[in-house]
Amino acid sequence: MLRLSELKPGERAIVTKVHGHGAFRKRVMEMGFVRGREVSCILNAPLQDPVKYALMGFELSLRRSEAEMIQVERVSDYHSAETRAEAADHISKNNETEQNGRLRSDKIINVALIGNPNCGKTSLFNIASGAREHTGNYAGVTVGAKAGTMHFKGYRFNIVDLPGTYSLSAYSPEELYVMRYLREETPDVIINVIDATNIERNLYLTTELIEMNRPMVIDLNMFDELKRANVKLDYESLGKMLGVPIIPTIASTGWGVEDLLDTVVKIYEMNHPYTKHIHVSTGPEIERAVSRLNKEFKTDESVDLHFSPRFLAIKFLEKDPEIEAQLRHHPKYKEWSAIREEENAKIEKALQEDTVSAISGDRYGFIQGALAETMEGSLARDEKTTKIIDAFVTNKLFGFPLFLCVMLLMFWATFQVGSYPMEWIESLVSWLSGIIGKTMQEGPLKDLILDGIIGGVGGVIVFLPNILILYAFISFMEDSGYMARVAFIMDKIMHRMGLHGKSFIPLVMGFGCNVPAIMSTRIIESRSSRLITILINPFMSCSARIPIYVLLVGAFFPKHGELVFFGLYALGVIVAVITARLLRKFWFKVDETPFVMELPPYRMPTLKATLRNMWSKAEQYLRKMGGLILVASIIIWALSYFPRYEEEQIPESYRTEILSEMPTATLSNSEGGEINEMILSEYQQGHSILGSIGKFIEPTVRPLGLDWKACVSLIAGAAAKEVVVSTLGVLYVGEDDEAMLSERLQTVSPVTGKAPFTPASALAFAVFVLIYFPCIATITAISRETGSWKYAAFSVVYNTALAWILAFLTYRIAILF
């Protein structure tokens, strides 16, 4: 976006937006810098600052720092865009698209969604923008800003869903993120989402936003629950008191969202009757201190204009770290600090409490007074159902067994229930392979389609139902509020591991995907706990490993599938616990961070939300198969297909060796031509590029009961764990196009007389896959979130070494039975 400060002498532009707040914004708008007004750049001062401009027939000068706050668009661009926007209005009065060109800058509204955790922001974001971000009924599910766009009444809304935060004090990662976003991005309108069933607590953040003096509308979400509790709230009167319009909505269904967006437009156009700036009343001692600092900041034009002077004064008085960092280098910082210390001493002497507590108390006093005049009835929830459920799920006797039962049920459904649609997809893939095998002419293209594409991608797509079932369970636990209870009962165990109670949330999220789970560790305030949680997260068996488990368990342990599943996941958790203890003891200092986490009321997840989340995961999975897995399968096929050999190129020594190892049954039941074909196929695969690489590394996995093909598939899993299955599909199914991969893994080879896998080696392989180095995306996430590649390197080396040891022990113990 073009700023006025970027104009060169002689250039003309149209004002599209004025950023900043308070006196600056009021002054420049009074001078004529309003939307749609033409301004010309005349000349720069000798030192390039200030700059002279012509506006409304007169000239004026602005400092570059002030001109930076005014957004403009060149005249030619503005008028052409305006013509196109008018044409678009003829197409639709209410919903404007960009079919006829981009919108003018003043037809774009940047909206920020801000609210407490668990207030329904992401549900509103999904409804408004059409995005499919997952919502969870526990704090911290949104760990970064998520952006989406929509069109409404001729405007394009750029909507940003910010992390949930209880206040604007920069002490937690979420609060710091929101504070910096509001300072650096300056959204046109803030939608402050509040939970209608917990208005008093949610309005605390609102009072801080009011002091910030930003264009804002309050979304009173979950309004149906307020009515269900027979509470009468005069939200219009409350909005007038706050100087902010309040719009009731039910974000989960979309009710009221159109009225909310309509109000956003009115606020942006500065014609809403309820909008006015108020000061949240405080006691005389605090007000005196705030007024004194407010005057200092207001009269000093070099102070950052992105926050109102009053907001800065309050936060400076509270010694907020972010505001401290912002003002520390100012020439008057020592003078202001002296004023603050003087005023804080007076406040503490008069009120017998520290300033932060006094300000918080006054805010809640203001909120209570406003609600006393506008609300009838008690907002206390009917906690009978919640108490009954919590009596079991958080009970020290029943809590853990119940959690284990839920996990067993999840794995049973993932394996057993998912096996039915899995068989249907398997049959479809097998039918397609048969059709292509019979109709296409022999040659590299046929081999590519059958062995590379269908053998690779087809071997992975069959596991889509299993992954969807797993995500349905995780989604239900998150949306219902049960996940927060699990974190609650696991807090003591987390502390014994040397972790914070909040660490449990990212660890459980790791069962879905390690990448967002590692990103979600931002909710953990303690850096050492956050780093340990990141490093042990790859031991949580992500959904990408499910195809491998289902393949091996279905082939070798069909009668005890859910128990093997549970055992693998449990092993991952045990390894994570031991690793966390070791890291805490030898690498990181012990730190005690209090466990503060909201236990939200139980809510029945909507079918729409669950299906939306499942479809989102299915879409991601299908995209991965159509992209990364397809490309990887083709590369694996090419490496295993080339170079090509003829029968006469096979050394006689190799032929003799194979014939000596070939089972008697194969020799007696096969003709000479068939035996020669088997030998050629074995030589071709073993001496391909991939075969040469695999056989070079094969000695490292022989003690685990694995061959070079299994070794190569493990290496290919660096791209994505599903590629392990697609690689096995390319290497094994190619020998028999109509046989499914699970059959091939347990079928005795007519050449070697051995099956590719035995139950013992399959179990060792599954354990190795569970523990060894994570995929590239996860390694990148570890590096990015920790800020150092050394942690990513540690994860690769430590995890792989540990995987080999555990797989070796598993194989040796398994062959005894």
- Provide the residue count of the chain: 817
pLDDT tens per residue, range 588-637: 766 555 445 556 677 777 777 778 777 777 777 677 677 777 787 788 88
Higher pLDDT, 133 or 249: 249
Contact 112, 162 (CB under 8 A): yes
Nearest to 140 by CA among 109, 114, 173: 173
Percent of the chain with pLDDT over 70: 86
Residue 782: predicted pLDDT = 92
Q: Decide: 306 and 184 in contact? Cβ < 8 Å.
A: yes
Are 612 and 472 spatial neighbours (Cβ–Cβ below 8 Å)?
no
Mean pLDDT along residues 419-433: 84
The predicted structure's pLDDT at residue 593? 52
User: pLDDT class for 93, splitting at 50, 70, 90?
Assistant: very low
Q: Is pLDDT above 50 for 99? A: no
Q: Which residue has the higher pLDDT, 660 or 95?
A: 660
Rounded to whole angstroms, the Cα distance separating 486 from 504 reads 8
pTM of the predicted protein model: 0.62
Residues 588, 590, 592, 596: what is their CA dihedral angle, to the nearest 10 degrees? 40
Strand partners, 41: 53
Ranges 173-177, 191-195, 306-310, most confident: 191-195
Buried-exposed string 31-49: b where 16+ CB fall within 10 A, e elsewhere: eebebeeebbbeeeeeeee
**Assigned token pair, 65:** 């720092």
Q: State what percent of residues in the chain have pLDDT above 90.
A: 18
Alpha carbon of residue 323 to chain centroid: 28
In 3D, which of 284, 700, 498 has the Cα closest to residue 712?
700
pLDDT class of 536 with cuts at 50, 70, 90: very high
| Res 547 pLDDT > 70 | yes
Q: Which of 665, 630, 621 is nearest to 753 (CA)?
A: 665
Closest C-alpha among 462, 330, 378 to residue 726: 462
149, 227, 479, 496, 572 from 483: Cα distances, Å: 30, 27, 8, 20, 19
C-beta of residue 723 within 8 angstroms of C-beta of residue 629: yes
Q: How confident is the model at residue 133 (pLDDT cuts 50, 70, 90)?
A: low
pLDDT digits (tens, 9 = 90+) for 384-398: 677 788 888 877 788
Position 84 scores a pLDDT of 39
The mean per-residue pLDDT over the stretch 506-512 comes to 79
Residue pLDDT, tens place only, 764-787:
999 999 999 988 888 988 988 888
Q: What are 335-357's pLDDT values in tens digits? A: 999 999 999 899 888 888 778 87
Q: What's the pLDDT score for residue 703?
A: 95
Q: Which two tokens stand for residue 768?
A: 């190795």
Q: Name which residue leads in pLDDT, 157 or 598.
A: 157
Give me the pLDDT at residue 323, please.
84
The answer, yes or no, to whether residue 304 has pLDDT greater than 70, is no
User: 232-241, 280-289, 802-811: which range is least confident on average?
Assistant: 280-289
CA distance 546 to 767: 12
Measure the CA–CA gap between 729 and 330, rounded to whole angstroms: 65
Give 795-807 pLDDT, tens digit per residue: 999 999 999 999 9
If phi > 0 it is left, if psi is from -120 to 50 it is alpha, else beta; for residue 101 that is: left
Report residue 706: phi and psi, to 5°. Answer: -110, 155
CA angle, corner 448, sides to 444 and 453, nearest 5?
Answer: 175
Q: How confident is the model at residue 45 (pLDDT cuts 50, 70, 90)?
A: low
Q: What are the b/e assignments for 221-231, b being 16+ CB within 10 Å?
A: bbbbbbeeeeb
* Mean pLDDT, the chain, whole residue set: 81
Confidence of residue 103 (pLDDT cuts 50, 70, 90): low
Full strand arrangement of the beta sheet holding 70-74? 58-62, 51-55, 38-44, 12-18, 70-74
Condensed to tens digits (0 to 9), the pLDDT of residues 559-578 reads: 888 889 889 999 998 999 89
Candidates 171, 173, 155, 152; CA nearest to 163 is 173
pLDDT at position 378 over 80:
no
At 190-214, the pLDDT tens digits run 999 998 888 887 898 999 999 888 8
585: Cβ contacts below 8 Å, ≥ 6 apart: 498
